[in-house]
Amino acid sequence: MYRIAAVGGDGIGPEVLNEGRKVLEAAAERFGFGIEWVEMDLGAERYLRTGELLTEEDMELLSSCRAIYFGAIGDERVKPGVLEKGILLTMRFHFDQFVNLRPVRLLRGIKSPLAEKGPEDIDFVVVRENTEDFYVGLGSRFRRREKKELAMMRELYHAKFGIDAESDAEEVAYQIGVITREGARRVIDFAFDLAQRRRKRLTSVDKANVLTEVYGLWREVFSEEARRYPDVQTEFNFVDAITMWFVKNPEWFDVVVTPNMFGDIITDLGAIIQGGLGLAPGGNINPAGVSMFEPIHGSAPKYRGKGVANPIATIWAGSMLLALLNEAEASEAVMRAIEQSIAKGVVTRDLGGGASTREVGDEIAAGVLGGGC
Ligand code: IPM
Ligand code: MN
Mean pLDDT value across residues 27-51: 97
Mean pLDDT value across residues 305-323: 98
The CB density around residue 217, as the number of other CB atoms within 10 Å, is 18
On whether the CB atoms of residues 314 and 281 are closer than 8 A, the answer is yes
N-terminal to C-terminal alpha carbon distance within the chain: 23
**What burial letters (b/e) apply to 51-61, b meaning 16+ CB within 10 Å?**
eebbeeebeee
Atom from ligand 1 closest to the CA of residue 85: 7
β-pairing, 123-129 with 99-105?
A: antiparallel
- CA of 264 from ligand 1 middle (Å) equals 6
- CA of 85 from ligand 1 middle (Å) equals 9
Q: What is the pLDDT of residue 166?
A: 56
Distance separating alpha carbons of residues 209 and 258, to the nearest angstrom: 15
On whether the CB atoms of residues 303 and 264 are closer than 8 A, the answer is no
Mean pLDDT value across residues 293-309: 96
Q: What is the pLDDT of residue 140?
A: 84
Q: Which ligand is nearest to the CA of 88?
A: 1
On whether the CB atoms of residues 320 and 283 are closer than 8 A, the answer is yes
Question: Ligand 1 pocket: which residues have CB below 6 Å?
Answer: 84, 88-89, 264, 296
Q: Which residues contact 241 (CB under 8 A, 6 or more apart)?
A: none
Single pTM value for the model: 0.94
Burial class (CB in 10 A: 0-12, 13-18, 19+), 151: exposed
- On average, the pLDDT of the chain sits at 94
H or E element in which residue 136 lies: strand 133-143
Query: Residue 172 — φ and ψ, nearest 5°?
Result: -135, 140
| pLDDT (tens digit per residue) in 51-65 | 999 999 999 999 999
Closest of 368, 346, 370, 329 to residue 22, by C-alpha: 368
The residue whose CB lies within 8 Å of the most ligand 1 atoms, and thus the one to mutate among 70, 85, 89, 175, is 89
The residue whose CB lies within 8 Å of the most ligand 1 atoms, and thus the one to mutate among 70, 88, 104, 277, is 88
Closest C-alpha residue for ligand 1 atom 9: 296
Q: What is the pLDDT of residue 139?
A: 87
Q: What is the pLDDT of residue 164?
A: 64
Domains and CATH numbers, the chain: 1-109+274-373 (3.40.718.10), 111-132+181-258 (no CATH), 141-175 (no CATH)
The residue whose CB lies within 8 Å of the most ligand 1 atoms, and thus the one to mutate among 264, 269, 293, is 264
pLDDT exceeds cutoff 60 at 145? no
Q: Which ligand is nearest to the CA of 92?
A: 1
Lowest mean pLDDT among 15-19, 160-164, 246-250, 299-303: 160-164
- CA of 43 from ligand 2 middle (Å) equals 18
Local confidence band at 264 (pLDDT 50, 70, 90 cut-offs): very high
Q: What is the pLDDT of residue 133?
A: 97
Mean pLDDT value across residues 172-182: 92
The proportion of the chain whose per-residue pLDDT surpasses 90, expressed as a percent, equals 89
Atom from ligand 1 closest to the CA of residue 100: 9
Burial class (CB in 10 A: 0-12, 13-18, 19+), 93: middle
Closest C-alpha residue for ligand 1 atom 11: 264
Q: What is the pLDDT of residue 364?
A: 98
Q: What is the pLDDT of residue 288?
A: 96
| pLDDT (tens digit per residue) in 329-367 | 999 999 999 999 999 999 999 999 999 999 999 999 999
Distance separating alpha carbons of residues 230 and 222, to the nearest angstrom: 13
- CA of 84 from ligand 1 middle (Å) equals 7
